Amino acid sequence: MPEIIDNSAEQGEELNLTFSQSAKQEILQAMKNRLLQHPIKLAEFRKQNLYNRLQTEFTYGRRGTEKTDEIGYADEFVLFIILLTQAIFKPFYISLCVRNKTLEEVLLLLFEQIFQIKPDRQCNKSSVTLLIRRSKEKRQITDFLRSYFAFDPDTYGFHFYAKNLEAAEKRSILQALFLAAASLADPSLTYQLEFICRRCSVYELLHELLVEINLVKVRKSRHPRKKRKKIVPSKLVLRSGDAIGSFLLFIGIQQKLLEYENIRINRHLRGDVNRVVNCDNYNLSKTVNVAIEQVKEIMTLQNSALWDSLSEDLKFVAQLRLDNPECSLKELQDFSTIKYSRNGLYYRLRKLHNLATAAAKDSLQQTID
């Protein structure tokens, strides 16, 4: 169901909308403006062309070429898809529950411009139900959906050849599916675009369109000869930030797309800064802990009998570490009057560590004896 948007606020008062709700509101407002400025007139030749393209399996001729720098829309498909995915068909009526005031206005405009029908409105506490009770109007809609989309009102199944759709029609279908069945998470928290498909035909159509625009990959079966029972999932989720951005770009949500990309950039910058800071803190903590252990081992070695037998080279490195207990190997290399490499310093400190371990064992054994 479309998300609830509270429209009880007075004019001029800003509504607290989620990111998903504001994206849907942008689609609906632009669609409403288009329908008011350029009403849809579904002429007979256009209906026949649409019928041929949807019924034939082979690619049918296009109605016209669309300029690459212009975004086209076929808003009549929004009504068709919402009827196919959300409407309830009963013997004596067709009902459509709407929880968004702007969506209700858009649907009323589409019903009037396409079918010349004005549905009855039944207001509920948090929604409005659009009812079509007249048998002639109900038959008109059912026959149209059955003819063009092979719709079965008993099983709610439908099918048409989506590869013959134009770009504007694919865009409007995805807009309708986004309005009817999608939820977009706040990108500042996570990247997730989730579609809840309560009917199998809806999932198949959505998956086919997302594959065509390269947002979902077709998975090949590992065992093609083995027959498996076909299970159609009820949910399709996009979790890639790039895929979600491409989806928003395709369906034409310009304003929310810019906001989405700004949030993504800020999130990536914060993530990069946090990773660098965490890495620096970890390396600094590790350097300090290792230096403290080395100082303790050298002090243990000084209190043992092995200290006098050490070479002057090892004593010099040991004293260098005692004088600079918080420095890294690179800093010890800079402070040393004798030019050691980092590997040379590490080798000598490691040798002092082994000698201190041996001295600690001898001290423990003497205590036991």
pLDDT computed for residue 233 by the predictor: 61
- The residues pairing with 130 across neighbouring beta strands, listed in sequence order, are 96, 121
pLDDT score recorded for residue 90: 92
162's tokens: 């989506």
Alpha-carbon gap, residue 158 to 308, rounded angstroms: 92
| Residue-averaged pLDDT of the chain | 83
Q: How far is CA 328 from the centre of its chain?
A: 43
**Residue 54 above 90 pLDDT?**
no
Q: How far is CA 279 from the centre of its chain?
A: 28
Q: Is there a contact between 181 and 197 (Cβ–Cβ < 8 Å)?
A: yes
Confidence of residue 63 (pLDDT cuts 50, 70, 90): very low
Least confident of 119-128, 217-226, 228-237: 217-226
DSSP structure string for 232-258: --SEEEE--HHHHHHHHHHHT-HHHHH
- pLDDT beyond 90 at 335: no
Report the range of poorest mean pLDDT among 10-14, 63-67, 272-276. 10-14
- Non-local (6+) Cβ contacts of 169 within 8 A are 74, 77
- What pLDDT, on a 0 to 100 scale, did the predictor assign at position 173? 94
Q: What is the pLDDT of residue 151?
A: 93
Lowest mean pLDDT among 37-51, 87-101, 217-231: 217-231
Average pLDDT for 3-19: 52
Q: Is the pLDDT reported for residue 64 higher than 70?
A: no
d(CA 162, CA 308): 88
On whether the CB atoms of residues 115 and 140 are closer than 8 A, the answer is: yes
Domains of the chain from N-terminus onward:
19-60+70-217+229-252 (3.10.28.10), 281-368 (no CATH)
Neighbours of 294 (CB within 10 A): 20
> Could you tell me which of 133, 148, 60 has the C-alpha nearest to residue 92?
133
Residues 244-292: pLDDT tens digits? 999 999 999 989 999 999 998 888 788 777 787 888 777 778 888 888 8
Residue 97, amino acid: C
Name the band, by pLDDT with cuts 50, 70 and 90, for residue 299. confident
- pLDDT tens by residue, 116-150: 999 999 998 889 999 999 999 999 999 999 999 99
- Alpha-carbon distance 160 to 260, whole Å? 33
List the beta strands (DSSP E) in 269-361: none
- DSSP 8-state symbol, 326: T
pLDDT at 338: 81
2 pLDDT band, cuts 50/70/90, is very low
| pLDDT grade for 235, boundaries at 50, 70 and 90 | confident
Please give the pLDDT value at position 329.
81
- Is residue 198 within 8 A of residue 93, CB to CB? The reply is no
pLDDT of residue 364: 66
Which of 156, 169, 27, 11 has its CA nearest to residue 100? 27
- 220: pLDDT strictly greater than 60: no
Residue 143 is predicted with a pLDDT of: 93
Report which of residues 102 and 340 the model is more confident about: 102
In this predicted model, what pLDDT tens digit does every residue of 150-178 receive, in sequence order? 999 999 999 988 888 889 999 999 999 99
Confidence category of residue 4, pLDDT binned at 50, 70, 90: very low
Residue with the two structure tokens 């034409």: 252
More confident call, 10 vs 42: 42
Question: Residue 137: left if φ>0, alpha if ψ -120 to 50, beta else—which one?
Answer: alpha
Residue 3 pLDDT level (bands cut at 50, 70, 90): very low
Q: Which has the higher per-residue pLDDT, 317 or 109?
A: 109
Asked if the model's pLDDT at residue 212 lies above 60, the reply is yes
- Label residue 304 by pLDDT band (50, 70, 90): confident
